[in-house]
Amino acid sequence: MDYRVSARKTAVAQALISRDLLREEAPLVGVIDMEALDAVIGSLKRAFPAHFSHAFAAKANSMPGVLAHVRGAGMACEVASPNEFAAAVDAGFQPMDIVFDSPAKTRSELHRALGVGTVLYVDNFQELARVDELLRNTSSTATIGARINPQVGAGSITSTSTASATSKFGIALGDPGNRDALIAAFLARPWLTSLHVHVGSQGCPLDLTVQGVRAVVDLANAIDAACGQRRISTLDIGGGLPVNFADDTVHPTFDEYATLLRDTVPELFDGSMRVITEFGRSVIAKVGFILARVEYTKTMGGRRVAITHAGAQVAARTVYQPDTWPLRISALDEQGRPKPGVAVEQDVAGPCCFAGDILAHRRALPLLEPGDHVLIHDTGGYYFSSPYIYNSLPPIDAYAVAGPDQQFEIVSLG
């Protein structure tokens, strides 16, 4: 991994320390670089034509300031729980720009989504029956569709792959009878006008993602043919772009993904359907980072250990699955400057009261000492925005930074 740190990040770190935002009472903070976020959103929009609508996956970072910013940048919002739904509304998203696709919607949640007119994706045939019941007594302006599991296979991280044969999400397209049942369901319900697919993100190669999209477009064509007219007016192709955590390079890019889609699923680009994407991690991960103070250092069994304030409470995935979710860490001094010195293998540990609370094992870094800081890269999505309340450790303060003079604004609820 590349442990170098950019001048932009070190300038932010030094400003936080000098302005007493990273201090004794707040030894751990998260940062979202809003200028970098705007650049990512701009690259996403440029990669696709105007009939594509891009929904930000709120689960990646549902902090109020972040949701309000992506709304202002012209994105829609994908939500998968009542609280995410409420956060999107509070951030100013209009109902037609909210995609609701939780796999466990209650009747009251369905009633609300239908009542306000969101984009609503039915996860299974039992849920479809509930929507049937609700629509007997109410009209709705919602765009309603079915989530499909194309069963094209899992990526390298099974827990985040949603298109394996037994994934819990959606209606299994290849299971006996399901394809015919889906076509019949659309024939019987003129208000079903959309399909949704999401193959997975981290660990899923682009060709697997595109294969899943191709399968669902083929289903859309079959439904249109059975109906004798264009029935599928909206197609949601989910997210699915993995993030490079090894260095600052962005790959794959939105342009690369769009090119592969054009080659494999050209129907998406002819303007005959509204196409929705649901990118989360690939929009927000690389524009965020964590800064944590080193509190103590010690030697245990001949190995150096640095005890910091960043552990499982902000990086649970990395602590519990370090080989699957490794993070880059850079060493900074007391003022937030890159620390010089010969790299020494050391463990970077967190504050949680269990032995496995280690962010990095045998990581070669300049020797950390009390008062130094660690900068943890690429954590804008799913890390400090989704705290794990272990030992009753509180959610951390998170700041948006913008402008050459490092203007900070709190974006978290904390």
Reported as half-sphere exposure (CB side, CA atoms, 13 A), residue 211 has a value of: 14
Q: Which of 47, 6, 73 is nearest to 261 (CA)?
A: 47
Quote the CA–CA distance of 170 and 324 in Å, as a whole number.
25
- pLDDT (0 to 100) of residue 167: 82
Best CA proximity match to 16, nearest among 285, 351, 401: 401
pLDDT value of position 407 = 92
Whole-number pLDDT of residue 160: 64
The confidence score (pLDDT) of residue 1 equals 73
Q: How many other CB atoms sit within 10 Å of the CB of residue 267?
A: 16
* Residue 252 Cα to chain centre, angstroms: 15
> Using N-to-C axis directions, what is the helix angle for 206-227 and 254-264, rounded to 10°?
40
* The predicted structure's pLDDT at residue 348: 98
Strands 397-402 and 407-410: antiparallel
Compute the distance between CA of residue 54 and CA of residue 278 in angstroms, rounded to an integer: 6
Among residues 287, 238, 235, the alpha carbon closest in space to that of 33 is found at: 287
Dihedral pair phi/psi, residue 231, rounded to 5°: -100, -40
| Distance (Å, whole) CA 395 – CA 385 | 8
Q: Which residues contact 55 (CB under 8 A, 6 or more apart)?
A: 75, 76, 77, 78, 97, 99, 276, 277, 278
pLDDT tens string, the chain, 414 residues long: the values are 777 889 999 999 999 999 999 999 999 999 999 999 999 999 999 999 999 999 999 999 999 999 999 999 999 999 999 999 999 999 999 999 999 999 999 999 999 999 999 999 999 999 999 999 999 988 999 999 999 999 776 766 676 666 677 788 899 999 999 999 999 999 999 999 999 999 978 777 888 899 999 999 999 999 999 999 999 999 999 987 999 999 999 999 999 999 999 999 999 999 999 999 999 999 999 999 999 999 999 999 999 999 999 999 999 999 999 999 999 999 999 999 999 999 999 999 999 999 999 999 999 999 999 999 999 999 999 999 999 999 999 999 999 999 888 899 999 865
Outline where 91-169 has alpha helix (H).
107-116, 125-135
* pLDDT for residue 413: 67
What confidence score (pLDDT) does residue 414 get?
53
| Residue ranges of domains in the chain, CATH in brackets | 7-32+285-410 (2.40.37.10), 94-279 (3.20.20.10)
d(C-alpha 177, C-alpha 216), whole Å: 16
Q: DSSP E strands: which ranges in 246-372? A: 274-277, 288-300, 303-308, 329-332, 343-349, 358-366
Pairing mode of beta strands 303-308, 143-149:
unpaired
The reported pLDDT for the residue numbered 152 is 77
Residue 282 amino acid letter: S
Q: What is the pLDDT of residue 326?
A: 95
